Structure 1
Amino acid sequence: MPIDTATRTAYTQDMDAFRDTVRSFMRDRVAPNAEQWDEAKIVPKSIWKEAGELGMLCPTVPEEYGGLGLDFRYNAVVDEEAAYGAGTTLGFSLQSDIVADYIVNYGSEEQKQLWLPKMVSGEVVTAIAMTEPGVGSDLQSIQTSAKRDGNHYVINGSKTYITNGQNADLTLVCAVTDPDAEKKWQGVSIILVEADREGYSRGRNLDKIGQDAADTSELFFSDVRVPITNCLGQEGKGFIYLMSQLGQERLSIAVSAQASAQKAFDDTVAFVKERKAFGKPVFDFQNTRFVLADLKAKLQVGWAHLDHCLTLHAKRTLTPEEGAAAKLWHTEFQWEMIDKCLQLHGGAGYMNEYPIARMWRGARVTRIFGGTTEIMKELIGRSL
């Protein structure tokens, strides 16, 4: 059964109509191909253009740049329906929920005119490259450099764990432009790097334990020359820009986690009502019902909390700590839900032919990317 929106408080009727379009797309165009794309370990770029034609990519981009000029709740609709009904992991949320806002908020008029319409249409796929080998996401320790040479930057370094890395036509690269800055973070800038630049190369499509169709790559930069005008916003402000966008990124992760938890629950209820053990459906055992009752109650809490956060964010009043709390709670709940649902599947839950097994593998990383559970606790703790 689809996500029940009858009692949701964050969405309007227009958003519900948009949801119908997104839901149909996930059901008819994505889900039938999910297994094939998982095996290929990449989503074909053609599906991006189809999504773009339906207004599913970057709906918050202003109309003057080809977007719909809507609020983040439309992004959340796409995130929910993809997590619930796609059957695989798409890279849409990175483009719509993260990269688009960087360019809208900090890009020059020329950058906006050049890239945003193509991102909305799906003609261009984007990525953001922060993480480096041996450094992780500690942006104050990155080694990739962008040195000025006349009216160009010359970029050298490498990145890893880059979502959309194989498909990306444009990558926002975090690099050190001022190695002598008094504070390391003051020397970090974000540079737009086109994939066809000489010296830019993709490494492996990394072999992950889950989220198979989401291409995740190594990227290498060897004397890559880009114009100074490819700097996003002001030089040396990259770290500030990155920190200012983390609340929405973490809310996006929370949205997908909650919808994924709902999908696991619905599939498991259907499974235990059909599967028999000791001559009766698994659902008829008291333990099964008690486990599911507990999870059902937490789902109710989760949806109410998510709507609360979405409403705050639409009003631009969601604090960074509240975003961190949303990411913390919903990803931890997602893991609890899927792990317990896998247990109720018994041996079948360990077989990749069952969706719960793929959901279990895919869910493990959500407590890591976008800031680990431990970092979320630290951020919340600092605000006390």
Structure 2
Amino acid sequence: MALPPPTVYSADHEAFRDSVRQFVERSVRPHLDEHLEQKALPRQFWLDAGSQGLLGLEVPEEYGGGAAGDYRFNAILLEEFAKVNAALASCMGIHADIVPPYLTTLATEEQRKRWLPGMVSGELLTAIAMTEPSGGSDLAALKTTAVRDGADWVLDGSKTFITNGYSADLIIVAARTSPEKKARGITLFAVEADRPGFSRGRKLDKVGQPESDTAELFFDGVRVSDAEVVGEVDGGFIHMMKNLPQERLGCSVSNLAHAEQILAETLEYVQERKAFGQQIGSFQHNKFLLAELATKIDVTRAFVERYVAAHAEGALSATDAAKAKWWTSEIQNEVLDHCVQLYGGYGYMNEYRVARAWRDARVTKIWAGTNEIMKELIGRELGL
């Protein structure tokens, strides 16, 4: 499917896109079966990505990063990985797009020197642990606690559905430090995985995205010091709310690229596949359906790129990010469901990419805040 060149990306952005595509062809596609078998991305993937300069786009040069200073580079990175599969974009998004702002904007100089170089090189894999077994999208209700004990903090509790959780070396953990303050009593800690009392559960058996490393995390008397506090004590909820718009925009970019790629492959399929002596794409119903889907993709791209450009200028609001996350996940699932139907029985076979993409997409209406929560946020902005 031929689309006009994106209007928000310059020649420098497109040159970066070419380098990401080359990395994907050289270091990712040959190992996709291995990722599926291991239910995780091997450390060599991260080391290769680090050596290619893909992991430090937001990290200052003095810590080994690229200091791109332009979110459009992040968007391109997520797009190109989402075209391969949703799990790659998910894992890469956590490490290279979601965690870095917490450490580049909130961490102390000592913390930056301690953690950022390893993040950039791929030697230090990161995750962020917000969601709890009983909490879901309600971050203010989290039950993991961090209690003062002399000069230390003692963490107790559990987290679930944590992407990169099984392999991460450093996890940003949200814990309750002042129960009486409710949402205003949450603090972020950077917990190194070798700390006594920290453990991981099994790799979770998900419906989709089996290549992504998703796990339960447990904290049983894990001791950390003030040197592991990220940002302000009791300021964690505000820090998360400030950074969630970028996470939701990253989801939106990935959702769109994932759906767009599968639709392009489906268009090729319906031109090759024949029934009743003609291409199935030439039947009026299918032709009209594909016309609608292609138009929705184009409209959604214009919508998302507007917000990508806004975020690059520091002007993306939390409500706009919620709109983008909700809309793109709905469009993604709609497009992929129709693509499965167009493949017929083959669309339900795991060996066909469209089937795997369809499964992979369903979670996008749930994670990073459910679509119902997104609508709640949008409604509040409308004064409702």
Normalised to the residue count of structure 1, the TM-score between the two structures is: 0.96
Deviation of 1:87 (Å): 7.3
Aligned length in residues? 380
Q: Which residue of 2 aligns with 1:82?
A: 81
Q: CA RMSD in A?
A: 1.4
Q: Which residue of 2 aligns with 1:132?
A: 132
Alignment check: 8 A CA contact 2:86 2:258 kept: no
SS of 1:369 mapped into structure 2:
coil
CA drift of 1:188 comes to: 0.6
Structure 2 partner of 1:236: 234
| 1:1-20 equivalence runs, <5 A | 6-20=4-18
CA distance in 2 between counterparts of 1:377 and 1:87 reads 24
Distance 2:274 2:338 in 1: 18
Deviation at 1:274, TM superposition (A): 1.2
Give the whole-Å Cα distance in 2 for the aligned partners of 1:89 and 1:42: 9
Shift of 1:217: 0.4
Identity of aligned residues (%): 48
Segments of 5+ residues of structure 2 without an aligned counterpart are: none
Q: Structure 1 residues 340, 325: CA separation in 2 closer, same or farther (over 3 Å shift)?
A: same
Alpha carbons 1:19, 1:77 under 8 Å: kept = yes
SS in 2 for 1:89: helix
CA distance 1:162–1:87, shift in 2 (3 Å): closer
Q: Which residue of 2 aligns with 1:306?
A: 304
**Match of 1:207?**
205
- 1:114 maps onto 2:130 in alignment: no
Equivalent position SS for 1:156: strand
Letter of the 1:20 counterpart: D
3-state DSSP of counterpart to 2:219:
strand
Distance 2:317 2:137 in 1: 22
Aligned partners of 1:48 and 1:110: how far apart in 2?
24
Farther off after superposition, 39-48 or 137-146: 137-146
- Between 1:77-86 and 1:201-210, the stretch displaced more is 77-86
Partners of 2:59 and 2:218 in 1: how far apart?
30
Q: Partners in 2 of 1:31 and 1:239 — Cα distance?
A: 38
What does 1:305-344 correspond to in 2, within 5 Å?
305-344=303-342
Check conservation: 1:23, 1:85, Cα contact below 8 A. Answer: no
8 Å contact kept, 1:190–1:238: yes
CA drift of 1:36 comes to: 2.7
8 Å CA contact 2:27–2:48 kept in 1: the answer is: no
> Counterpart in 1 of 2:218?
220
1:171 Cα offset (Å): 0.4
Tell me by how many angstroms 1:347 deviates: 0.3
Q: Secondary structure at the match of 1:148?
A: strand
Contact 1:31 1:86 in 2 (8 A): no
- Paired residues of 1:130 and 1:137 also in contact (CA < 8 A): no
- Structure 1 ranges of 4+ moved more than 6 A: none
Q: More deviation in 56-65 or 84-93? A: 84-93
2:344 is equivalent to residue 381 of structure 1: no
Shift of 1:58: 2.9
Q: Please list, as runs of the form range in 1=range in 2, the aligned pairs for 1:36-51 lying within 5 A after superposition.
A: 36-51=34-49
2:261 pairs with one of 244, 260, 263: 263
Q: Partner of 1:272 in structure 2?
A: 270
**What letter matches 1:97 in structure 2?**
D
After TM superposition, give the deviation of residue 28 of structure 1 in Å.
2.7
Q: Which of the residues 191, 194, 216 maps onto 2:192? A: 194
Are the structure 2 counterparts of residues 117 and 220 from structure 1 closer, same or farther at C-alpha, using a change threshold of 3 Å? same
- Correspondence for 2:31 among 33, 54, 69: 33
- Is 1:66 equivalent to 2:59 in the alignment? no
> 1:256-300 deviations in whole A, cap 9, x for unaligned?
001011111111011111111122221121111111100111111
Contact 1:34 1:88 in 2 (8 A): no
CA contact (8 A) 1:189 1:239 kept: yes
In structure 2, what is the Cα distance between the partners aligned to 1:87 and 1:309? 21
* Kept after mapping to 1: 8 A contact 2:56/2:64: no
Deviations 1:223-260 (A, max 9, x none): 11111211101100000000011111110000000101
Which deviates more, 80-89 or 61-70? 80-89
Matched residue, 1:151:
151
Matched residues in 2 for 1:39 and 1:270: separation? Answer: 28
In structure 2, the CA distance between the partners of 1:186 and 1:244, relative to structure 1 (3 Å rule), is same
Conserved in 2, the CA contact under 8 Å of 1:79 and 1:255?
yes
The amino acid of 1:278's aligned partner reads F
Q: Matched residues in 2 for 1:329 and 1:89: separation? A: 21
SS in 2 for 1:167: coil
Query: Distance between the aligned counterparts of 1:225 and 1:236, measured in 2?
Result: 18
Residue 88 (structure 1) shift: 4.8
Q: Secondary structure at the match of 1:25?
A: helix
1:83–1:256 contact (8 Å) kept in structure 2: yes
Contact 2:85–2:357 (CA under 8 A) maintained in structure 1? no
CA pair 271-87 structure 1, distance change in 2 beyond 3 A = farther
Residues 31 and 87 in structure 1, CA contact (< 8 A), matched pair in contact too: no
CA distance in 1, matches of 2:152, 2:63: 26
Q: Which residue of structure 2 aligns with residue 102 of structure 1? A: 102
SS in 2 for 1:273: helix
Separation in 1, partners of 2:33, 2:345: 21
Distance 1:224 1:254 in 2: 35
Q: Where in structure 1 are there 5+ consecutive unaligned residues?
A: none
Between the aligned partners of 1:121 and 1:270, the Cα distance in structure 2 is 38
